[in-house]
Structures are given as C-alpha cells and as structure tokens.
C-alpha cells in the first residue's frame, strides 16, 4: 500500500518511523511519503491561507497549493481508475469506523490531505473528486485543530488490517468493534491479585464455557457503555 500525506507540519509524521508501522515501512509492505503543502506555494511568505469570502472568523486554506500538491501526487490526467482514495480528515465528514478502516485497508493508494485553520476551500474537494475517490472522514463528535492527529489515527487503524501487518491474525477478530461488539475483559497471571480473583470459568479449561462467557461479557459491556452499537430489539 502506498500512502501520501499532504500537510503544513511534515515533522509531525516522524513518529511513523517507530512502532509496528516503522517495521512495515522497512519491509516495503507500506510505503509512506510526506509532502509539505508550502512547497507548492510561490510567494515569499509561502502563504497557504486567506480570509473567507462572505466574512467570518478564522482563515481558509487557499485552493492553489492544494491543487498543485494533489496534481503532483496523482500525476497528469489523474487516476480515478486506479483505486486512489483521497481522504480529507474533517469534523464535517462522515464517521470513520472499523468498517471504514477495513474498506480502506484494501486500497492500493491512499492520500491524506491535512487541513488546518477553519478548513480548505470547498473547490479543492470538488476538483479532486474528478480525479480520484474523495472521502471527508471524521474521528468523532469533537474538534481537533487540524487533520494531522486524525490522519495518524486513521493510518494506524487502516494499516494494522493490511494482511501481513499483525503477528497473530486472530487478534484482529476478537477485539472491540469486530462483529459490532466491544471486546471482552482480559486477565493474565496471577490468578489472585490484591484480593481480586480471575473469573473461575477462565481457569476451567472448558473452551465452550469460556467462549460463551466471553460472548456474554461482550454483549453486556456493549449494552452498558455503547448501547447504540447493538441491533434494535426485534418488533413482535
């Protein structure tokens, strides 16, 4: 998988060199390139923003540097046919979920456009959509200062689902948000710690009973903290 990131804070992404993602980069499984949006400006101050038409607070990112940056990544003529998805992280986007991560993990080429200030000129999204699949994606109902932190979170969620990325593929199945349920609670040795006991069923060696207990725990935990994730009760 090829990932291009466009940002005014390229240094921010140096953390990609460490951790699991660093290994995947070295192995060639995932190829990440970070691009400085200001390299596509042509004035002395390397300006990427301007005041909003119609007035209002804050600044809007100018379309021209974005147009040039995206042209340089997509190449001449664009590649709407070649499976490139351009993601613009935005609190105004659709919700990024585990299903979104699974879908994007199958892409050959992802581009992340990190906006700052009050946003990017709307025409950038429209023009990019003539040349690639465009998705505005939000992490949740709160506001970050820019797309960089959201891009890091999305890249981590997506790349760990790329085949060959995780040591034990089973650990991808029995985790929160797979099958629409939260994960069951986990325990390790010692069996008794500070007066707190591991649930006896986990020491029983009865694999069917353990699986049933874990499923029950997932449903109960989901009902308690995230009831909206459960299917609606059937109408009779």
CB of 11 to ligand 6GU, least distance (A): 18
CA distance from start to end of the chain: 47
CB of 89 to ligand 6GU, least distance (A): 3
Q: Who contacts 173 (Cβ-Cβ below 8 Å, separation ≥6)?
A: none
Looking at beta carbons, which residue is closest to ligand 6GU? 89
Rank residues 84 and 151 by Cβ distance to ligand 6GU and give the closer one.
151
CB of 187 to ligand 6GU, least distance (A): 33
Rank residues 4 and 148 by Cβ distance to ligand 6GU and give the closer one.
148
Quote the DSSP letter at residue 177. Answer: T
In DSSP notation, 99-140 reads: HHHHHHTT-SEEEEE---TT-B-HHHHHHHHTTSEEEEEESS
- Per CB under 6 A, residues contacting ligand 6GU are 89-91, 137-140, 142-144, 146-147, 150
CB of 7 to ligand 6GU, least distance (A): 12
CB of 147 to ligand 6GU, least distance (A): 5
Rank residues 90 and 128 by Cβ distance to ligand 6GU and give the closer one.
90
Question: Which single residue is written with the structure tokens 């010692």?
Answer: 190
Rank residues 155 and 181 by Cβ distance to ligand 6GU and give the closer one.
155
Rank residues 139 and 182 by Cβ distance to ligand 6GU and give the closer one.
139
Whether the bond between 190 and the residue before it is cis, its omega within 30 degrees of 0, is yes
CB of 91 to ligand 6GU, least distance (A): 4
Q: What are phi and psi of 62, to 5 degrees?
A: -65, 145
What is the Rg, in whole angstroms, of the alpha carbon atoms belonging to the chain? Answer: 22
Question: Are the C-beta atoms of 158 and 99 separated by less than 8 Å?
Answer: no
Provide the phi-psi class of 100: left if phi over 0, else alpha when psi is between -120 and 50, else beta. Answer: alpha
Rank residues 74 and 120 by Cβ distance to ligand 6GU and give the closer one.
120
Q: Which one, of 160, 163, 178, lies nearest residue 215 by Cα?
A: 178
For residue 212, what are its two tokens?
A: 């049933």
Rank residues 140 and 199 by Cβ distance to ligand 6GU and give the closer one.
140
| CA–centroid distance for 180 within its chain | 18
CB of 114 to ligand 6GU, least distance (A): 9
């Amino acid at each position: 998988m090829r990932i291009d990131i466009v940002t005014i804070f390229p240094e921010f992404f140096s953390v990609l060199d460490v951790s699991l993602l660093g290994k995947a980069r070295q192995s060639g499984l995932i190829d990440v390139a970070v691009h400085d949006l200001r390299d596509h400006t042509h004035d002395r101050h390397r300006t990427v923003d301007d005041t909003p038409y119609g007035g209002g607070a804050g600044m809007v990112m100018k379309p021209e540097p974005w147009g040039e940056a995206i042209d340089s990544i997509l190449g001449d003529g664009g590649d709407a046919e070649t499976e490139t998805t351009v993601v613009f992280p935005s609190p105004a986007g659709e919700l990024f979920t585990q299903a979104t991560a699974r879908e994007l993990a199958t892409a050959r080429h992802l581009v992340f456009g990190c906006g700052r200030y009050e946003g990017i000129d709307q025409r950038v999204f429209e023009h990019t959509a003539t040349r690639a699949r465009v998705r505005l994606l939000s992490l949740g109902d709160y506001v970050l200062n820019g797309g960089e932190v959201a891009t890091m979170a999305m890249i981590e969620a997506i790349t760990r689902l790329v085949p060959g990325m995780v040591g034990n593929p089973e650990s991808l199945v029995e985790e929160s948000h797979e099958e629409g349920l939260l994960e069951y609670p986990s325990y390790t040795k010692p069996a008794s710690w500070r007066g707190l006991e591991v649930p006896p069923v986990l020491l029983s060696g009865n694999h069917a009973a353990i699986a049933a207990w874990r499923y029950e725990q997932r449903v109960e935990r989901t009902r308690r903290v995230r009831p909206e994730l459960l299917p609606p009760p059937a109408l009779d």
